[in-house]
Amino acid sequence: MAQVHELVHRDQTELTRTERDVLEAIGGRSLVSENVDASFEEKLSLGELAADRLSNFGGSWTFLGLFALFLGIWVLTNAIALTQAFDPYPFILLNLVLSCLAAIQAPIIMMSQNRQEAKDRARSEHDYEVNLKAELEIRQLHEKLDNLLLHQWHRLMELQEVQAELIEDLKE
């Protein structure tokens, strides 16, 4: 309990927002735990949701399979199937399409990664809050146990003195 009081009485400018939140939670006997992922998902904009979905699809085996199928069809169509190919070998139009795809896909993946990083940062801050509160409450429990043991020790000493007096009285 002394450590909590020490934190409370410390200069308020030294306490971070997290420390103040934890102290309020300890004082109010409230929980600090929450599902960070759920609260983060609630705040998604349409663009962030689209970036996540496109990033998930762009990094999947489904995308790779469909992309390989698309490339195969493009090459076979222009090299063999058509007598008048719309993109003859060396497939310059295909290179343009692939470059545009890469130019669009890279920023979308980066947006998704930036959002994931912010989510990870929020999760680690929340973990710190929970750990700090747990540590302070464990310290409180240790102090309570120490006080109980000290009180019991004094009580045992008193009982021992009474027993010693009774033994002395019985000897006489």
> What does the mean pLDDT of the chain come to?
84
Percent of the chain with pLDDT over 90: 27
Indicate the domain borders of the chain.
2-139
Q: Of the segments 43-47, 95-99, 145-149, which one has the largest average pLDDT value?
A: 95-99
CA distance 140 to 4: 8
pLDDT category of residue 35 using cuts at 50, 70 and 90: confident
Say yes or no to pLDDT of 18 above 90. Answer: no
Dihedral (Cα; 103, 109, 115, 120), 10-degree rounding: -140
Taking alpha carbons only, the member of 106, 123, 132, 114 closest to residue 22 is: 132
What are the structure tokens assigned to 101, written together? 């795809």
Residue 6 is predicted with a pLDDT of: 64
| C-beta of residue 133 within 8 angstroms of C-beta of residue 25 | yes
| C-beta of residue 33 within 8 angstroms of C-beta of residue 21 | no
CA distance 116 to 59: 15
Stated pTM of the model: 0.58
Residue 92 is predicted with a pLDDT of: 93
Residue 67 has what DSSP assignment?
A: H
112 burial (CB, 10 Å; 0-12 / 13-18 / 19+) is buried
